[in-house]
A and B are shown apart, each in its own frame.
Chain A
Amino acid sequence: MKILVCIKQVPDPEMPVRVDEQGRVVRPEGDLKYWMNRADEFAVEEAILIKEAGFGTTVDGLTVGPEHAAQVLERAMGMGADNGVHILLQEEDFLSPLNTASYIAAYALNKGYDLILTGVMGEDHMQGQVGAMLAELLGFPCATSVIFERIRDERGAVYVEREIEGGLRAALELDLPAVLTVQTGINKPRYPTLSNLLRAKKQKALVVESHILGAAKDREKVVRACYPGKSRAGLMLEGCGKDKAVRLLEILEKEALLFCGQQRE
C-alpha cells in the first residue's frame, strides 16, 4: 500500500502577526518559528500506524512551501515516513488552496497512491480546502474530518468515521484510492526518534520545483487584511501582576461574580 501524507509548515500561532498601512499581513522581523501544522501531525501518525499494521506500506510525506518548509519533512521522516517530497516555492507568498492542491495533484497523478492523508485544516489560514480539492482534481472519493479509520484491504476500501456536529459520527466506506482529511485527536502523534532523524538528514527529500508542475490560475484575491472588531469592553488591566490581580478581584466583586467575604457552606 502506498500512502501520501500532505503536510504544511505553519508559523507558530503564538508569534505576533500585524497588519501594515497598506492592509497587508506582516510579521515582525527576527526569528520566526515554524512548525508542522497540528492536524497534519495527526495525519502523519495515522499513516505510520497503517504502516505498522502491515499491508506492505510505504509512506511518503509531501510539503508545498519555501526552502524552510523542508523541516516538516525531516520531522515526518523522523516519525517514521519512508520518503520526503518537497514541492519548492520560490517565494513566501500566500498560496491559494487550489494552487496547493493543483501542485500536489500534478505530482501524485499516476504515482499509484492508494491513500492520501492530510490534516483537516491549516492552522494559519484555516481554509480547510486542500484535501477536498485534491480529491476532486484526482477524481478520488474523499472524506473530511476523519476521527477513525480502518483499512479493509480485502475489499480495496477504507472504513472511516467522520466527526460531525452534536457529538455524532458519520460512518462510511470509501473505495481506494481515496483522500482522507484527518481531525485532531484521532491518535497520539509520536515524537521523532533519533535514528529516524539521522536517516532523514542523510536521505534528503526529493525536491520538485513548483514551476515544473504548473500553477493554477488564481480564482480569488486577498485584497486587504484588517484587525477584527471588538464585541465587548475588552478592558486591558494595567500595572504589575499583583496590581492586575487586585483589580480583577475588585471587578469580579463589583459584578457580583466572586464573594470573597462569604463563607462557603
Chain B
Amino acid sequence: MASLEPSVSINDKTFNIMKQAIVIIAECRSGNPSPVTYELMTLAEKIRQAHPMSVKAVVLGDEVEKASQEIAEATGASVLGIQNPHLKYYSGELYKDLLHQCLPGMNPAFVLVSQTTQGMDFAPGLAVRLGASSITGVNGVSWDGNNLCFSRDAYNGKIVLEILPLMEATVLTVQPGAFKAMKPETTATPEPVEIRLSTAESRNTRSLGIIRCEQKDASLAEADVLVAAGRGIGSRENVALIEQLATLFPRSAVAGSRPVCDSGWLEYKKQVGLTGATVSPGLYVACGISGAMAHRVGMQGSGFIVAISTDPNAAIFNIADVCICEDLTTFIPLFIEECKRKKKGPV
C-alpha cells in the first residue's frame, strides 16, 4: 500500500518530506552560539532548495536556554536544548550518547556539524553509531535534479572530490567559512524551544577543564607585510632567505605554516592558519606553502597575495593575486638583487 504522505526520491532513496529533517548540532562558546552554527543553517537552506525538509537544531550544554532561544529567534528552526550538568566542558562520549538518544526520534536525513576540533571529535563516531554516511570537510553542495552531492578538498586542496552519500542518514562536518552565516530571519515566528534535562554521565572519560597556553605574536597582527614559509622551503637554513626577503618591506614580519613550526624551523607563535593566527596584512608572500585549507583559512583575507611554489598545481595559486612557479632558493635572491639594483639606480 502506497503511503499517502508526500515523498520525493533523492540519491535513489525515498524521503518522506513531512517527517525527515535536517538537524543542526549547534556549537556554543560560553553559552552563546558560535558563528559556525549559523553557517550550518546556510547549508541547511541549500539542501532545502533541492529538497524541502524541516530544519531542527540541537543545543547541548550545562546551560542551554539562552543559546537555544537565540537560535530559535534567529532562524525560526525548532530547537531542542539538552541540558546536562556534566557538560560544563565538552565531552565526546556524552555528546555521542545524548545525540544517539535524541536523533533517531527526529528522523534526520542530514546531521550538520561544524568542522571544528569539537565537531571532528564526535561526528565520525556518531555516524558509525547511527549507521549513517559520514563526510568531513564539506565546503560545497551540488544538486543535479537527481543526486545531492557534497564536495570536499583533498590532496592539500589541489583537488575537489564530490561525494554521494548512500545511507538513509548522513552526518556532515562543514568547513568553517565555506558557507556565509545566514542572515537572521526576522519574519519567522520562532517555534517554542524544548528543553530536556539529562543527568547522564560519561563512563570512561572525565573532562578536566580548559588550559590556556596561548602563544601570540603581536608582530603578526601589526605587520603590513607578512612573508610566510611553508614546508616547501625545504630546510631550516632557508628560513634566513625568508627573513632577508621580509627586510625589504617596512613593517614586515616572518610567519609560517604548521609543518614549518612542527619541524622547529619557526616558533609556534609565528604560525598562521586554523590552529595558529588569523591574519590580514596588506601583502602576504607565501613561500613554499601548498595552500591546504588549514593554512588558507588563516590568511585568505590578506589584501594582496603573492605565492611562490615549484608546484604549478599548488592550491595556494587559486587564492593568489600573483603566482610565481619557481624554486624560492633561486628566485628570492634574484628578487632581492633586483630591488637593490632599482634602489641604487636613478629615480
Contacts and interface: CB of A to CB of B under 8 A. Distances in A.
Interface stretch (B55-63, B74-82, B120-128, B190-198): B120-128
Contacts of B306: 248, 252
Contacts of A196: none
Tell me if A's interface is mostly helix, strand, loop or mixed. Answer: mixed
B211 A248 contact: no
A13 B155 contact: yes
B2 to A, nearest CB: 28
B6 interface: no
A36 to B, nearest CB: 14
Contacts of A223: 147, 149, 162-164
A264 B129 CA distance: 63
A129 B134 contact: yes
A149 interface: no
Interface in B304-341: 304-306, 310-311, 313, 315, 317-326, 330-331, 334-335, 337-339
Interface in A234-265: 234-237, 241-242, 244-246, 248-249, 251-252, 255, 257-261, 264
A46 B255 CA distance: 27
Nearest to B310: A14
B44 to A, nearest CB: 20
A30 interface: no
Interface in B279-304: 282-283, 290, 292-293, 300, 304
A2 B117 CA distance: 27
Interface stretch (A62-70, A73-81, A171-179, A204-212): A171-179
A261 B335 CA distance: 15
Interface in A138-181: 140-145, 159, 161-175, 178
B118 A164 contact: yes
Contact of B137 (A126, A220, A232): A126
A234 B320 contact: yes
Contacts of A25: 154-155, 159, 161
Interface of A: 13-14, 16-19, 25, 38, 97-98, 101, 123-129, 132-133, 135-137, 140-145, 159, 161-175, 178, 183-185, 188, 218-237, 241-242, 244-246, 248-249, 251-252, 255, 257-261, 264
